Amino acid sequence: MALDTNFHHGDSPKDAPPILEMRDIEKHFGNIIALAGVSFDVRLGECHCLLGDNGAGKSTFIKTMSGVHKPTKGTITIGGKPMNFSSPREAMEAGIATVFQDLAMIPLMSVTRNFFMGREPTKGVGPFKRLDVERMNEVTMTHMREMGINLRAPDQAVGTLSGGERQTVAIARAVYFGARVLILDEPTSALGVRQTSNVLATIDRVRKQGVGVVFISHNVRHAMAVGDRFTVLNRGKTLGTARRGEITAEELQDMMAGGQEMAQLEGSLGGTV
């Protein structure tokens, strides 16, 4: 399946200033150096893929973008303004929405309540301000359907959903709330073929709407299908950023795995990887 022919990549706006810019981010957990100076930026209307092996620091890095971790060193600017998020809530208010690798869902709560968790719409005024339950249910059902999943009922507990359905709720939620930047940490790891291409199409759609997308994946084909730029992380450092067209899938694959060993493995497996 040649996914990369599905989407048109406009010239990624080369000289537009980045909406989100991370400079020399370091993150230490005690004596563990998870990030040793990573710089990265994303512009409105582009999809910037972040690639790297397990433990490279991808999740840690995007968590500093979304306000979960405070970077030990380095600066974050949004639209030119320096930011210092002290909670994910603040990052959200700045228009950043994230699909976390662990999805950040509460199994005991309904799909709708999970969808709007932290950003519930209300109706009424003053002390009579209450949840707008009908609207919440309707939006949830609509957006899940758009992603190719027909929910049985919006009040179904998330714990009863399949892994892929859960992932789809998390993606739909982030897309709905990602006003300026949408971060997806391996959003397709549990998805079937149809849902995966749905997610890739969704990334393409929100990018066209002018949102900056940060897309983390282990799958180079998926990254090549939608990415405008590619940054490879390895052991807490960037190996460099390439534009679309400047790099082939094979080269990316090799960079991710540290070149040599991958080539050998490929040989012994008969080129199936």
Binding site for ligand ATP (CB under 6 A): 29, 32, 34, 52, 54-60, 101
Region near other proteins per CB under 8 A, out of 29-37, 54-62, 151-159, 189-197:
151-159
- Segment lying near Mg ion (by CB under 5 A), choices 21-29, 80-88, 96-104, 172-180: 96-104
Residue closer to other proteins by CB (options 76, 97) is 97
Question: Under 8 Å CB-to-CB from 228, ≥6 apart: which residues?
Answer: 9, 12, 46, 47, 48, 207, 243, 244
d(Cα 245, Cα 252) in Å, to the nearest integer? Answer: 12
d(CA 136, CA 242): 41
Residue 65 and residue 61: Cα distance in Å, rounded? 7
98 binds, among Mg ion, ligand ATP, other proteins, none (CB under 5 to 8 A by kind): other proteins
Which residues in 58-87 contact Mg ion (CB under 5 A)?
Answer: 59
Instruction: Tell whether residue 109 is a contact of other proteins (CB under 8 A).
Output: yes
36 binds, among Mg ion, other proteins, ligand ATP, none (CB under 5 to 8 A by kind): none
Q: Which of 3, 33, 36, 104: binder of other proteins (CB under 8 A)?
A: 104
Q: Determine the 3-state secondary structure of 75 from DSSP.
A: strand
Write the DSSP symbol of residue 222.
H
| Residue from 122, 76, 66, 75 nearest 98 by CA | 66
Please, which residue, 52 or 227, has the CB nearer to ligand ATP?
Answer: 52
Helix (H, G, I), strand (E, B) or coil at 100: coil
DSSP string, 181-211: EEEEESTTTT--HHHHHHHHHHHHHHHHTT-
Q: Which one of 42-50, 99-107, 114-122, 128-136 is the stretch in contact with Mg ion (CB under 5 A)?
A: 99-107
Q: Which is nearer to Mg ion, 101 or 219 (CB)?
A: 101
Applying CB under 8 A, among 100, 181, 184, 223 the residue interacting with other proteins is 100
Q: Which residue from 169, 173, 218 is spatially nearest to 55, judged by alpha carbons?
A: 218
Q: Supply the minimum distance, in Å, between the C-beta of residue 22 and Mg ion.
A: 17
Minimum separation from the CB atom of position 89 to other proteins (A): 4
- Shorter beta-carbon distance to Mg ion: residue 202 or 217: 217
Structure tokens at 118: 């932290």
Burial class (CB in 10 A: 0-12, 13-18, 19+), 74: middle
**Contacts to other proteins by CB under 8 A:** 66, 68, 87-89, 92, 98, 100, 102-109, 113-114, 116-120, 122, 129-131, 133, 138, 141-142, 145, 150, 152-153, 157, 159-161
